[in-house]
Amino acid sequence: MSSTSHADTAAAAQDGAQAPAPRRRRGVRRLSVRDRVVVGVLLGIPLLLDLAFVWFPAIGTALLSFTKWNGVGSLHTQTCKPNVPSILNNGCWYGVQNYHQAATIYPEFWPAVRHNLIWLAVFVLIATPLGMLFAVLIDRGIRGSRMYQSILFLPVMLSLALVGIIWEFMYSQNYGLINTVLGRTSDSNAIDWLGNPHLNLWSVLVEATWRQSGYVMVLYLAGLKAVDPTLREAALMDGANAWQTFWRVIFPVMKPINIVVMVVTVIESLRAFDLVYITNKGINGLELLSVLVTSNIVGETQRVGFGSALGVVLLVISLVPISVFLYQTFRREEAS
């Protein structure tokens, strides 16, 4: 009996010796002092720049929008006194009165909001699909695609000021190319594309679309080049035509590019300033929020608080479509 128990014990010990020892978890390697310094510099500098040039000005603008300040003197927390000259109320706390005045007694406000929304709609519904179409056609390797790509991208390389000057020659009432082609160059039948408040907004939108479509084209070309070619081959083997391949296979894969294009489109449409300012300084049918912000903050009126309120309105308008688009995009991703 004793010998049997000794034999069992020896066998168990032998089995234990043959069993692999449990693997020790590797501890997380601690960063050296040098590595910490490098990581701190690489993360800290962009963070500080972002805070200094994006977040602090945005928060400061939002705070200034609740004050009545002309940019001179100090700010204080005292409430503005009614029926007192503005110079005596400078720097006081004004609450939401700037927003109320903009919506009720500032005649340029609602036309500017409407024009900004029209600008955004044209960019989303015309400029972006047009740029996508150009990208798809060039990506298919048509003959002369490099030349077409350079021609379509050329407006993006030009400054908006130069684009506006070029199109002023195109729209010239008596000597412009468009009126010459239409045969409307005499004083009696010439079309005033930039002076007529019923036409000038759409005329300037043609200039902006001409430039924006090339920008969108380059972004989508980059996305199309990054798509795995095997996806196209698999769709072709499944019998999908070019239209089905793009919308059901290629387009969903380019979701990061779609997000970038959407954000860029909204930003470009709502920060529009140069073209309308060159045309007629943003008046007479070309009122935009960006022009109103500039004229109130750095113009003769020097109403920094009121101009800041208009800037906050512009920021909110830009954040709404971006937030809705991102929410819908990530919601569909989670559902799938």
Contact 221, 257 (CB under 8 A): no
DSSP 79: B
| Dihedral in degrees, nearest 10, Cα atoms 182, 186, 190, 193 | 90
Residues of the chain with pLDDT under 70: 1-29, 299-301, 333, 335-336
**DSSP alpha helices (H): ranges in 76-227?**
97-104, 109-122, 128-139, 145-157, 160-171, 177-182, 200-225
In angstroms and rounded to an integer, the radius of gyration of the C-alpha atoms of the chain is 31
Q: According to the model, what pLDDT value does residue 323 have?
A: 83
Contact 175, 167 (CB under 8 A): no
| Nearest residue to 194 (alpha-carbon basis) of 126, 120, 286 | 286
- C-alpha distances in Å from residue 245, one per residue of 24, 131, 239: 50, 19, 9
Phi, psi of 67 (to 5 degrees): -120, 165
Where does residue 336 rank: exposed (0-12), middle (13-18), buried (19+ CB within 10 A)?
Answer: exposed
d(CA 287, CA 272): 11
| Nearest residue to 204 (alpha-carbon basis) of 165, 232, 164 | 164
Q: In this structure, what token pair is assigned to residue 47?
A: 């963070």
Q: In this structure, what token pair is assigned to residue 221?
A: 């070309």
Q: According to the model, what pLDDT value does residue 119 have?
A: 93
Q: According to the model, what pLDDT value does residue 8 have?
A: 53
Structure confidence by residue, pLDDT tens digits, 288-316:
999 999 888 886 667 889 999 999 998 88
Structure confidence by residue, pLDDT tens digits, 243-294:
888 888 888 888 888 888 988 888 888 888 888 988 888 888 899 999 999 8
- Full-model pTM: 0.80
